Amino acid sequence: MDVMPKWADVVLIPVISILLAAILSALVILAIGENPWEALKLMVDGALGSTYGWGYTLYYATNFIFTGLAVAIAFHARLFNIGGEGQALIGGLGVAIICLFIPWPHWTFALLGAAIGAALFGAAWAAIPAFLQAKRGSHVVITTIMFNFIAAAVLNYFLIGALKAPGMEPATAKFPEATHLPSFQDMFNFGETTFFRGAPANITFFVALAACVALWALIWKTRLGYEIRSFGHSETAAKYAGISPTKIIMVAMLISGALAGMMAINNVQGEAERLVLNAVEGAGFIGIAVALMGRSHPFGVLLAALLFGFLYQGGAELALWTSIPRELIIVIQALVILFTGALDNMVRMPLERLFLSLRRAKNDGRTV
């Protein structure tokens, strides 16, 4: 029997962790002479107070959904894929090739082709560390983080070489008009009333939602998902049941790499409409925190991605309209990651003791 009820693990622990991070962040803001309450109001207004703010919040959240899901599926197989950054970079390369060299008649076909290309490129990049883990015992943490740097070098090579557009900037040419995805501004334009004006959020957000549903169905409604979870809980028991460790490691990492690569349809095809250097902007690493906070559940990942989207957009507004430096915004984001990830047991253990004592008291009452 679990020490804590499921709702406490899924809801209560993340909420308490966020509150602790918020309190510590408020103290830091107070220490530099700013008003924490005013800072919070500015963040909320900048990220959620207008459709423009929501457009940026959902744009960032879309990136984090893909990278969070990528980390989550690997977690279920007890694999720590921290190569989402590199897999998303290589996924962007796949999107660029698909969009630049295939004449698409309409954005719907281009979106499907780019999603497949991004997934294949991302999966291929994850396949090498997966093979090294499965066959050679090379730890996936080491290999995936090394592959992040290799991916950046590969992207550099193409953006100053074969894919470089005329000019000084290391970037590809603008993608053809037929590949441009509809933004939320296009989708929610009602004559004189236009929502999300100037915001980069686009139809990829709905692709990310579909990915959440698909991954939930895969993990909890299919035999493969059961095998992945069984392997993650106990490799020895899974092997005894006839589950191949090599198969699970390879499949889990391929799915993980594909999801990370698909982030590129949002930031490369949807927003920039070309491939540029550093297009991922750290979203691969944020995906780790998102998966941790979301307890590796697709719905939890969605909520955590929305929170980090809020932090990113709200933090940008805070840096723009106050004297709080951008570096401090990163510190606030890091505190949320710290409390929801590394310091999880600091919250979990006291709560487990509390629920255990409550259960014992309840049982003692029944005995009497």
Residue 349 lies inside a defined structural domain of this protein:
no
Mean pLDDT of the chain: 91
Pairwise pLDDT comparison (302 vs 357), residue with the higher score: 302
289-302 average pLDDT score: 91
Question: Under 8 Å CB-to-CB from 240, ≥6 apart: which residues?
Answer: none
- Residue 353: left (phi > 0), alpha (psi -120 to 50), or beta? alpha
Give the mean pLDDT of 196-204. Answer: 93
Domain assignment present for 268: yes
Q: Is 362 domain-assigned?
A: no
Whether residue 353 has pLDDT greater than 70: yes
pLDDT per position as a tens digit, 241-253: 999 999 999 999 9
What is the reported pLDDT for 354?
87
Pick the more confident residue, 341 or 180.
Answer: 180
pLDDT confidence band for 2 (50 / 70 / 90): low
Share of the chain above pLDDT 70, in %: 98
Residue 76, domain member (yes or no):
yes
> Which residues are within 8 A (CB) of 353 and not within 5 positions of it... i.e. 6 or more apart?
none
With cut-offs at 50, 70 and 90, classify the pLDDT of residue 333. Answer: confident
User: What is the pLDDT at residue 367?
Assistant: 60
Please determine, for residue 295, whether its predicted confidence score (pLDDT) is greater than 70: yes
Q: Pull the structure tokens for residue 167.
A: 């000019």
d(CA 319, CA 329): 7
Q: How far apart are CA 159 and CA 164, in angstroms?
A: 5
Predicted local confidence at residue 365, as pLDDT: 67
201 within domain boundaries: yes
User: pLDDT tens for residues 205-255?
Assistant: 999 999 999 999 999 999 999 999 999 999 999 999 999 999 999 999 999
Q: What's the whole-model pTM score? A: 0.92
Residue 362: predicted pLDDT? 78
Q: Any idea what the CATH number is for the domain that residue 206 is in?
A: 1.10.3470
Domain count, the chain: 1
pLDDT digits (tens, 9 = 90+) for 259-282: 999 999 999 999 999 999 888 988
Residue 266 lies in a domain: yes
- Flag whether pLDDT at 368 surpasses 60: no
Q: Which domain holds residue 216?
A: 52-301
| pLDDT for the residue 53 | 94
The reply to whether 335 falls in a domain is no
186 located within any domain? yes
- Between residues 269 and 332, the one the model is more confident about: 269
**pLDDT value for 334:** 82
pLDDT band at 344 (very low <50, low <70, confident <90, very high): confident
What percent of the chain has pLDDT above 90? Answer: 66
